[in-house]
Amino acid sequence: MMKSFLLFLLPLSLLLFNACISPKPIDNLAVQQQILKNEQKMAEIEKQITNQKQEMDYEKNRAAVLERENDDLQNNLNQARNNIKETFVTLMGTFEKREEELFDCYIGNAPLNRSKIYCSPGPTLLVDFGNPVLVDNVVLCGAEIYCQSPLTIQFCLIRAARNQAKTMVVESISNEYRVNASGKQKIVFPRKQRFFAAKGSYLGIYVSSAAELAYDDKGTGQVLDFQLKKIVPYETTFSEPNSLPERNGKAISFRFFGISYMN
């Protein structure tokens, strides 16, 4: 009887003993540290998301500029090819009259109205290092620009100096042209004043002070500017750039057109 009573009391005593034990206190410092770590992780994730969004916006803007460039160039090339096909049969007899329809070579940035305006601080030579001449014996017959103000302009052919390392020389310069209106302008060179460009040459324009030209800086162009008080063929030189801009390169609205299918 006594033994049974003791067996009954033993689990009852353990239950009462455990009921008297106080719960373990919460470690507030550890909780705060964990919250801080979580907040830091969230901040890092938000920063990564922001950086990725900025990169996506940059690529989107860059792609939009390239698309406009490609569309304009493709339209001009398609038109030139169609004109060549249509006039091929009578080419020899009508070349003088219809030569302007047969331009198949466009070098430079499309003459578009763009997001920004370049204003020359003084007489300035703008050289397009992103669009070199790719074949020999190209006949440059004219040029197109998109300007935001009247200006005075000359068209130039530039190449690497033969006897000076890391030096560029202005090889040819057109007559001076006065543009009195803004917007897209097309200038056809007189037959005796055309350029004959060789592979590896660069093209540029020499503009007056305060000339305003449309441009984008989304990395789709590599036009550099050089402030020169005057330019003289075979005498005017300047240093070849050590590097060319990439992400913020300028595409200024000027390009040359001419004939390459005579090669």
- Tell me if 13 is assigned to some domain: no
Q: What is the rounded distance in angstroms from the CA atom of residue 85 to the CA atom of residue 35?
A: 73
- Tell me if 167 is assigned to some domain: yes
Q: pLDDT tens digits for the chain (263 residues)?
A: 555 555 555 555 555 555 555 555 666 777 788 888 888 888 889 888 888 888 888 888 888 888 888 888 888 888 888 887 777 666 655 555 555 557 889 999 999 999 999 999 999 999 999 999 999 999 999 999 999 999 999 999 999 999 889 999 999 999 999 999 999 999 999 988 999 999 999 999 999 999 999 999 998 999 999 999 999 999 999 999 999 988 889 999 999 999 886 65
Q: What is the rounded distance in angstroms from the CA atom of residue 1 to the CA atom of residue 50?
A: 79
Q: Which two tokens stand for residue 245?
A: 């801009």
Q: What is the rounded distance in angstroms from the CA atom of residue 190 to the CA atom of residue 221?
A: 29
Q: Indicate the residue type of 7.
A: L
CB 214 within 8 A of CB 116: yes
CB-neighbour burial class of residue 173 (10 A; exposed 0-12, middle 13-18, buried 19+): buried
| Model pTM score | 0.67
- Tell me if 10 is assigned to some domain: no
- Tell me if 11 is assigned to some domain: no
- Tell me if 90 is assigned to some domain: no
- Tell me if 61 is assigned to some domain: no
Q: What is the DSSP letter of 198?
A: P
Degrees, nearest 5: CA angle 155-161-163? 155
Q: Provide the 3-class DSSP secondary structure of residue 88.
A: coil
Q: What is the DSSP letter of 121?
A: S
CATH number at residue 190: 2.60.120
Among the listed residues 148, 127, 95, the one whose alpha carbon sits nearest the alpha carbon of residue 256: 127
CB 202 within 8 A of CB 130: no
- Tell me if 35 is assigned to some domain: no
CB 141 within 8 A of CB 103: yes
- Tell me if 49 is assigned to some domain: no
Residue numbers of the domain that contains 212: 106-259
The total domain count for the chain is 1
Instruction: Give whole-number Cα distances, 39 to 27, 34, 42, 120, 240, in Å.
Output: 19, 9, 5, 50, 51
Q: Which two tokens stand for residue 63?
A: 């792609």
Dihedral through CA 62, CA 67, CA 73, CA 75, nearest 10? -160
